[in-house]
Amino acid sequence: DGAIEVRYPLPGETVDVPPGTWQVWATRGFEFSIGETWVTIAPDSTATLTGTLEHVLDTDGWASVDTHVHAEASADSQTLGVDRFRTAAASGLDVVVSTDHEAILDLGPALDASGLREFVSYGLGSEVTATLPEHTNAWPFPIDDSDARGAPVRWYELGFPGIYAAERARGARVIQLNRSRVNGECGILCVLDWDRGANDPATDDPVALGMPEGTTVWSWDFDSFEVMNSNRSPLLDPADPRHTGALVDWLAFLNLGHRVTGVAVTDVHGLDIPGQPRVYVRVPDDTPSVVTADDVA
């Protein structure tokens, strides 16, 4: 009757659905074929689905990664860690980096509880959610259980240089600048009235932007840049250049000698799937049970 049920079962797990005749699709992300069949479920009965999804995209030596993913430690996410790993495995994602707001809480026990270490690897990160200058992700972090939030990075009254330094002091190897142009909202490059030709902000007064006096409004001490956040277009809209064009910004960085890694991320909060879009990184061994966030970093 038009009902759609989306589930993330482990192999061999029972899924409850209302009785009736169902068309079933089984998927595991971009790299795998799609399984399709029909099944009729009578009241108080079960049916068994069997089949194999073929690995149709050769990614040997490359790990698929999403470096902007949220779960239960974020105040704006109700997705349990176990369910986050189910969604990641269901999308065929090799490495998921947790980036919860103002928390560096280890989801390793949730990955163990999910039974999915064969299918997905994990890195511990955090989204440092400064209102200005801007959100940044940092990872991988060492575990620090000295407080209930895992000793998150304190961004208060810091500009970019101070935030980046605090993230590195906490142990992060990769710092990522997030949401610089947010297609209708004013991300940091919009706020700074960024000059793509000169690769400099046109606005340079930190106090006018609500940043601490004496800091600088910009620092190049970051490693990666969100060219694509979720399914927002990275392309430039000539009618709205301030709010669009993260791809053009990244190419300008490269053209003027700033070797920043461009990434595509989902910024996923709910039970939708991480890794769409994603990044592929060359690693020594891409087996999900073997590859680590340190390999990716």
Distances (CA, A) of 199 to 130, 208, 228, 248: 22, 20, 19, 11
Residue with tokens 């049920």: 5
Check residue 6 and give its pLDDT: 92
Please state, in angstroms and rounded to a whole number, the distance separating the CA atoms of residues 101 and 10: 29
**3 or 79: whose pLDDT is higher?**
79
**Mean pLDDT of the region 217-228:** 96
Check residue 51 and give its pLDDT: 87
Is pLDDT above 90 for 44?
A: yes
Is pLDDT above 80 for 220?
A: yes
Q: Which residues contact 7 (CB under 8 A, 6 or more apart)?
A: 15
Express as a percent the part of the chain with pLDDT over 90. Answer: 87
1-33: burial string, b at 16+ Cβ within 10 Å, e else: eeeeeeebeeeeeeeeeeeeebeeebebbbbbe
Residue type for position 39 = V
The tens digit of pLDDT for each residue in 139-176 reads 999 999 999 999 999 999 999 999 999 999 999 999 99
DSSP sequence for the chain: --------PPTT------SEEEEEEE--STTB--EEEEEEE-TT----------B-S--TTEEEEEEEE--TTSTT----HHHHHHHHHHTT-SEEEEEEET-----HHHHHHHT-TTT-EEEEEEEEE-SSS-EEEEEPPPP--SSTT-S----TT--HHHHHHHHHHTT-SEEEE--SS-SSS--HHHHTTEETTTTEES---TGGGTPPTTS-S-----SEEEEEETT---S--TT-TTT--HHHHHHHHHHTT--PEEEEE--B-SSSPS-SS-EEEE-S---TTT--HHHH-
Tell me the pTM: 0.94
**Mean pLDDT of the region 29-33:** 94
The tens digit of pLDDT for each residue in 6-23 reads 999 888 899 999 999 999
- In which band, very low, low, confident or very high, does the pLDDT at 1 lie, cut at 50, 70 and 90? confident
The tens digit of pLDDT for each residue in 255-284 reads 999 999 999 999 999 998 999 999 999 999
Closest residue by Cα to residue 198 from 252, 136, 133, 124 = 252
Check residue 219 and give its pLDDT: 95
**Mean pLDDT of the region 41-48:** 93
123 contacts 293 by C-beta, under 8 angstroms? yes
Residue type for position 86 = R
CA–CA–CA angle 174, 176, 177 (5° rounding): 155
- In which band, very low, low, confident or very high, does the pLDDT at 209 lie, cut at 50, 70 and 90? confident
Per the prediction, the chain carries an average pLDDT of 94
Torsion sign, CA atoms 187, 256, 68, 173 = negative
Check residue 132 and give its pLDDT: 86
Is pLDDT above 90 for 184?
A: no
